[in-house]
Amino acid sequence: MNRHLTKLVAALAFATLAMGAAACGSDLGGGGRDEEVTTAEAEGTASGELAISNWPFYIDKDTVPEFEQETGIKVDYTEDVNDNNEFFAKVQPDLQNGESGGASIYVVTDWMAQKMYDLGYLQDFDKEAIPNFEDNLVSNLESPAFDPERNYSAPWQSGMTGLIVNSEVAPDLTSIADIFDPEYEGEIEVLTELRDTVPLVMKSEGVDVENATTEDWLAAIDKLGEAVDSGQIVDFTGNDYTADLARGDVAAVIGWSGDAVQLQADDPNIEFVMPEEGCIQWSDNMVIPVGAPNPTAAYEWIDYVYEPENQAQITDYNYYVSPVDGVKEILEKQGSDAAKSNLVFPDEEYVANCSSQPNPPAEDEEEIEKAFQQVITG
C-alpha cells in the first residue's frame, strides 16, 4: 500500500473509531455492549466456501489446501489486515449494516476484538461446534480480561512487539532508547499501532506501562512527534514495514517477533531483538463478524487449527507463540528448531521485562488516539 494512502486510511479509521467511542467500553476490563448478543449457530455439516481475513506471514503454504482437501470447503484466505484501525475502517461500513463484507472470520488484536464486540459487530461462538478449541487452548489464554469466558474470541497466535534490526547496519541497536540516537537518523520506522509503539517508548522512559497516566502517554507521543519532525523516524507503518526492511530502506523498526524469522529467509542479517526495556505481549484472535455467510465452515476451520498436529505445522512456519497445548512436544519429536526458540516458547527470563499490551486510560482514550494520529499524519 502507498505510504501516504496508509496514513490517510489511518486518519479516517481514527475518525470512525472516535464516532463510536461513546457506544463502547474502551478498557480491556469488560464491554459496554447493552443489546442482546447473537450467537453464530452451527448448522449441519460444514461445506461451501469460507472467506478469512488475516495478517501477512501468519500461515504456511500447506495448511489451507490440506484443510480444503479434508473438508471439501473452499477457502478464500486473504492477507488484508495490515493495521487494526486500517482494517476496521475498511469493514466498518459493512458491519454497521449487519454485513461482514463476505468474510466469516476476521483476525484482529485483543483490543480491537473487544471494540468490535462492544459496537455489536461480532457474534458469540457456538462452543459445541469447536471442541478442539475448548480442549486445547493453552491455560494462560483461557480467561483474558476483555473476554473472560472466551465467548467470541479464539487466539490465532500470540507474539511480542520489540525491535527488528538489520544487524549488519545497526549491530549495537539493542534498546528502544537507541531508535532516538542520531546515529540512526532517517533509518527508523515504528508501528501505526498505538498500543505497541507508545508503550515501548514509555518503557524506555522508565514508565510502568500497565499503570501509565494520560500524561505518560502524551509525553511519549510528543517524543515520537519530535523524532518525526527531526527526521529521526521516517515513517509509521503497519505490517508493510517488512518490505522496507527487505529492501534495506531502514536499519530497524518497532515490529512483531515472528516477522523477523520470515525476513531472515532472504536476509540472515535481519533479526528480532528483545529490547533491553522488554517487549509488549499480545494475541491476535479469530472472531466471527455479524453477517458472516458461513459460520459453520468458520467453526470447522477454528477446530482444525486447534488440532495440535495442524497447529504445529503453522507454528513451525510463522514462529509466533502458539495458543494450542501440545504443540511444543510435537515440534520436539519432529526435531524442529521452533521447539527451542524463545520467539515461539519464551521462557520466563526472556520475557521478564515484558508487559501485556495496555490500553490508554479510558477517560482520555479519545484525546490520546487523536494526538497519536496527528503525529502519524503530520
pLDDT in tens, the chain (378 residues): 333 334 444 444 444 443 333 333 333 444 445 457 899 999 999 999 999 999 999 999 999 999 999 999 999 999 999 999 999 999 999 999 999 999 999 999 999 999 999 999 999 999 999 999 999 999 999 999 999 999 999 999 999 999 999 999 999 999 999 999 999 999 999 999 999 999 999 999 999 999 999 999 999 999 999 999 999 999 999 999 999 999 999 999 999 999 999 899 899 999 999 999 999 999 999 999 999 999 999 999 999 999 999 999 999 999 999 999 999 999 999 999 999 999 999 999 999 999 999 999 999 999 999 999 999 997
Does 148 reside within a domain? yes
Residues 18 and 138 in one domain: yes
Residues 40 and 129 in one domain: yes
Does 347 reside within a domain? no
Can you tell me the distance from the alpha carbon of 304 to that of 133, in angstroms, rounded to the nearest whole number? 9
Does 201 reside within a domain? yes
Residues 230 and 328 in one domain: no
Does 319 reside within a domain? yes
Residues 109 and 189 in one domain: no
Tens-place pLDDT, residues 173-229: 999 999 999 999 999 999 999 999 999 999 999 999 999 999 999 999 999 999 999
Residues 53 and 91 in one domain: yes
Residues 110 and 96 in one domain: yes
Q: Are 284 and 239 in contact (CB under 8 A)?
A: no
Q: Are 40 and 292 in contact (CB under 8 A)?
A: yes
Q: Say how many domains are in the chain.
A: 2
By C-alpha distance, which of 249, 80, 95, 92 is closest to 164?
249
Within 8 A by CB and 6+ apart from 276, the residues are 174, 175, 176, 177, 353
CATH no. for residue 153?
A: 3.40.190.10
Does 348 reside within a domain? no
Residues 13 and 126 in one domain: yes
Within 8 A by CB and 6+ apart from 39, the residues are 123, 124, 125, 126
Residues 105 and 228 in one domain: no
* pLDDT value for 35: 59
Residues 276 and 303 in one domain: no
Domain of residue 234 covers 160-281+353-377
Residues 13 and 87 in one domain: yes
Tell me the sheet residues that pair with 190: 236
DSSP, res 288: -
pTM: 0.88
Q: Are 312 and 331 in contact (CB under 8 A)?
A: yes
Residues 166 and 223 in one domain: yes
Residues 17 and 130 in one domain: yes
Can you tell me the distance from the alpha carbon of 352 to that of 357, in angstroms, rounded to the nearest whole number? 14
Within 8 A by CB and 6+ apart from 295, the residues are 40, 41, 42, 104, 123, 126, 288
Does 302 reside within a domain? yes
Phi, psi values for residue 109, rounded to 5°: -75, 160
